[in-house]
Amino acid sequence: MTILITGSEGYLGQALVRKLTVEHDVIGIDIRRAATQQQGYKFYEMDIRDPALAALLQQHRVSHVVHLASVLQASSDRERDFDIDVNGTRNVLQACLHAGVQHLTVTSSGAAYGYHADNPEWLRETDTLRGNKAFAYSYHKRKVEELLAEYRAYHPQLQQLVLRPGTILGAHTDNQITDLFKRKRLLAIKGAPSPFVFIWDQDVIDIIYRGVTHSKIGMFNLAGDGAMPIADIAQRLNKPLLVLSAWLLRWALRVGHRLGLTQYSAEQLDFLRYRPVLDNTALKLEFGYLPAKTSREVFEFYLQHHPEVVRAAKQAKEAST
């Protein structure tokens, strides 16, 4: 196969490059080259919105595309972020059709389901995608998936595999969720268990690899078995859990965001309160993949490789006593 990866220089992209280049020709595009360069693949500095993408796909006779590129952390320019995420994906789709690409894998997110009080206890792939407009990442993933559905209906010749991961953790992951774990105390909302589902990064890489090399199609949640309520996470981190009423936390977020003390605004309160909990039945039975680690085992693996997260909490607790 000849496989093109968008966002090839990111954490997952580089891991996937290493795995795929063993047996396949790999081309990577990103807005800049990774600091530590992998060998054995062709890299092009290119934005996913670049009209030249179609010609690049044609030039290398690309058969499979893995679309990883997206805005992971919202900037102050929401229109720009939307343009990259949604219009960038549209350009990838159009380029694939123009170049006769056979198969497209897209990493979406469990956030596409949205953060809602009436979410099912366990979300399945057949549940409606309702990504919240107040939370850019969630909303953009929803709009990307709506675009993908449109192309599936009108252009079935381009096969699609759409993956919706929960929170990805591994030995070297660093994201908005791991930032929460590093704080002195964890926040919770009264009456909301806020369970997290985790997926090991190596499981994600293996799933993408199998999906590409076997040209699998469909939509699949990516999560280890089970979930961890925020109270269990705080206990394992040996950190205090500050439980606030929803109205009080909304006020605190409004003030904290205005003062630059938190990246979350009051409008994003539901991000902490109504976390989407992903059912992985289809992944196991239809896709045919059993995650190597449960959600709790993924979290333990993360802590084993980030002992400073627990050590700092223990030292602070000892100092206070």
Dist. CA 169–CA 192, nearest whole Å: 23
Q: Which amino acid is at 45?
A: E
Q: DSSP code of 134?
A: T
Dist. CA 91–CA 84, nearest whole Å: 10
Instruction: Copy the structure tokens of residue 31.
Output: 């807005």
Q: Residues in the chain, how many? A: 321
Dist. CA 34–CA 51, nearest whole Å: 23
Q: Which has more confidence, 269 or 204?
A: 204
Which domains are present in the chain? Answer: 2-169+199-226+277-293 (3.40.50.720)
CB-CB contact of 209 with 16 (8 Å): yes
The percentage of the chain sitting over the pLDDT mark of 70, rounded to a whole number, equals 94
162: Cα separation from own chain's centroid? 12
Q: Residue 86: how many CA atoms within 13 Å on its side-chain side?
A: 19
**What is the model's pLDDT at position 208?**
98
For the segment 213-222, the average pLDDT, to the nearest whole number, is: 98
pLDDT digits (tens, 9 = 90+) for 64-73: 999 999 998 7
- Report which of 23, 141, 18, 28 is spatially closest to residue 89, judged by C-alpha positions: 141
CB-CB contact of 111 with 98 (8 Å): no
- Helix H or strand E encompassing 165: strand 159-165
3-class secondary-structure state, position 220? strand
DSSP string, 251-295: HHHHHHHHTTS-S--GGGHHHHHS---B--HHIIIII----SS-H
- Helix H or strand E encompassing 180: helix 176-181
CB-CB contact of 164 with 110 (8 Å): yes
At what angle are helices 88-99 and 136-154 packed, to 10 degrees? 20
Judged on CB neighbours under 10 Å (0-12, 13-18, 19+), 118 is exposed
pLDDT reading at 315 higher than 60: no
Whether pTM > 0.85 for this model: the answer is yes
Q: How far is CA 151 from CA 4, 7, 120, 203, 246, in A?
A: 19, 21, 27, 28, 40
**What is the model's pLDDT at position 110?**
97
**What is the model's pLDDT at position 308?**
84
**What is the model's pLDDT at position 251?**
83
| Lowest pLDDT segment from 6-15, 110-119, 264-273 | 264-273
Judged on CB neighbours under 10 Å (0-12, 13-18, 19+), 248 is exposed
Dist. CA 115–CA 166, nearest whole Å: 13
**What is the model's pLDDT at position 188?**
85
35 strand-pairing partners:
none
Dist. CA 224–CA 162, nearest whole Å: 17
pLDDT digits (tens, 9 = 90+) for 73-88: 777 899 999 999 999 9
Other beta carbons within 10 Å of 219: 23
